[in-house]
A and B are shown apart, each in its own frame.
Chain A
Amino acid sequence: SQQGEEDPQALSIQEGENATMNCSYKTSINNLQWYRQNSGRGLVHLILIRSNEREKHSGRLRVTLDTSKKSSSLLITASRAADTASYFCATDGVNDYKLSFGAGTTVTVRA
């Protein structure tokens, strides 16, 4: 079963606005990864954040991790229509190579 829970389930924003989505998990983790999926195709890896890191940036993406609250957030700044996709968080446990995926957040960016 999925360890992660994501909210919101869906998000609709105007182009240029920021989008924030959250991921919570239940057990201790080694890493947390964020992925994007366009229209039911393959997953594109966005960012990996380790359990001893608190924040990571990649272009317009900012990921935070709070292990005390067992939660992470993904912020997309200055959104574009091309950011329309489903976003998933995935965690692996300590000494466990397998990924558990959250339910995902569907983001729609309106032009």
Chain B
Amino acid sequence: SAVISQKPSRDICQRGTSLTIQCQVDSQVTMMFWYRQQPGQSLTLIATANQGSEATYESGFVIDKFPISRPNLTFSTLTVSNMSPEDSSIYLCSADRGLNTEAFFGQGTRLTVV
């Protein structure tokens, strides 16, 4: 497995602003992902962060709202743009080393938009 450091761990933001969440893995990984977990709900995949190219977004999520970067094999960022109270959620970074390997997670970022 590997250790994922995600920051910030929590933040309270004003509506209309943007927040960038960072995810750092302590060793090289193949795949990196970003998930959203709304209060009391399960995890929903936002996008796959592709190294050196544009992220692959799931249905219902768009690049303008959730721009993602992955400049190398161990680091990724997710920005939540033009936030509204509906964006209040836990955002989680995940990584794995390809098919048939376990996926491990950061500690999450608890975002509250006021």
Residues of chain B having any CB pair with chain A under 8 Å: 1, 4, 6, 31, 33, 37, 41-45, 48, 90, 92, 94, 96, 98-108, 110
Residues of chain A having any CB pair with chain B under 8 Å: 2, 30-31, 33, 35, 40-45, 48, 50, 88, 90, 92, 95, 97-104
Question: How many whole Å from B102's CB to the nearest CB in chain A?
Answer: 5
From DSSP, what is the main secondary structure of chain B's interface residues? strand
B103 touches A99 (CB 8 A): yes
B105 touches A104 (CB 8 A): no
From DSSP, what is the main secondary structure of chain A's interface residues? strand
Q: Quick one: given A40-B90, A98-B33, A101-B42, are A45 and B100 in contact (CB under 8 Å)?
A: no
Chain B residues whose C-beta falls within 8 Å of the C-beta of A48 in the assembled complex: 101-102
B102 touches A98 (CB 8 A): no
